[in-house]
Amino acid sequence: MSSSSVFLSGPQYVLGESTSHHSEMPGLQARSEELGIPYAPQVWGWGSAHRTRKSLEDLAIEAGTATLRAAGADPASIDALVLCCTGFPGGPDSHGDFVRTISEGLGTGETDFLGVTLDRCTNFLAGLRVAEAFVAAGIHRRVLVVTTDKVTAEAERLAKFALFSDGAAGALVSDTDGEYEIVASAVAHEMRELDWSNQISPDLSRRVNTQLMKHVSMGIDEVDILLHANIFEAIIVMKELQAGFAATQLYTGNIARVGHCFAADPIINLADLAAAGRLRDNGHYLLAASVPGSRTGILLRKLVETAESTK
């Protein structure tokens, strides 16, 4: 939890440059049968998947640059870079080049850096919490958080819970200015349930909700919109309703349009709703993501726009 004001700004994302509708993907029905899930595109909310030939580094640079531009931040002003990825390429011998390439591409210079990977599809929210802690503690003033991922084996683009897309996303966390205030964040884990064979848990979501709402003295019904992961629609709706949210609080529009872009989904959904003018001043928006055995939530308050901030 933040002990002083921390802000988030410039949420941006990029998707793979090639888009295919699920009906155009060869072998999808066979893959569905292999996974033991009904071939029911409408039930699951299958739409399009976005593929890239770019490297993870290129995706990260593109998303991070868009974030810095949207936030009006000079790359040289960034104190720390938090890189998130489900699977960083190579091993220790290549990770230095990975960080250097991204840092040089962003123009952030010799800034501090940190990698986040073990949280899987909650990596980006975990990275935002690290940035929040850095800023709240006064260790750093401006932290750029970037997540980058792509499917490495095309046959695995469809999983038991999602149709995956390639892409990257970023957000700037700082102690001054911003479009949103980070008013609270929380996590809940069940170590015995971390294996992928388990399901995501509405109980963990309820535990996170309790922590968040206690911190801000509000009810879960006062959250304007839940910005959740873009996994299969039937699954995410069921799990979030079980966690205590109302159907009117859910945003499922990007499940078909974007697909599941690993850890980037909540910030993708935030950026799209903001661009569409669907966020109200002083409204509360909950970034949240679950994997088996883990749930992370970050509650944002949209700040009132001023004439100066819109210049």
- All structural domains of the chain with their residue ranges: 7-174, 180-302
Measure Cα distances from 217 to 135, 209, 211, 212 in Å.
23, 11, 10, 9
In eight-state DSSP terms, residue 84 is E
- At 4, the pLDDT band (50, 70, 90 cuts) reads confident
Q: Do domains 7-174 and 180-302 have the same CATH topology?
A: yes
pLDDT in tens, 130-164: 999 999 999 999 999 999 999 999 999 999 999 99
Phi/psi region, residue 90 (left: phi>0; alpha: psi -120 to 50; beta: rest), is left
Domain 7-174 has CATH 3.90.226.10: no
pLDDT of 307 strictly over 90: no
User: What is d(CA 163, CA 46) in angstroms, rounded to the nearest whole number?
Assistant: 7
Residue 15 class from Cβ within 10 Å (0-12 exposed, 13-18 middle, 19+ buried)?
A: buried
CATH class of 180-302: alpha beta
| Interval 61-79 mean pLDDT | 98
Q: Are strands 167-174 and 7-15 parallel, antiparallel or unpaired?
A: antiparallel
| Interval 27-33 mean pLDDT | 95
The per-residue pLDDT for 306 is: 62
% helix, strand, coil for the chain, step of 5: 40, 25, 35
- At 177, the pLDDT band (50, 70, 90 cuts) reads confident
Indicate the average pLDDT of the chain.
Answer: 95
- The helix (run of H) or strand (run of E) holding residue 113 is strand 112-116
User: What is d(CA 182, CA 175) in angstroms, rounded to the nearest whole number?
Assistant: 10
261 neighbors 268 (Cβ within 8 angstroms): yes
Partner residues linked to 174 by β-bridges: 7, 142
User: What is d(CA 308, CA 305) in angstroms, rounded to the nearest whole number?
Assistant: 8
Measure Cα distances from 36 to 29, 75, 157, 199 in Å.
10, 47, 15, 15
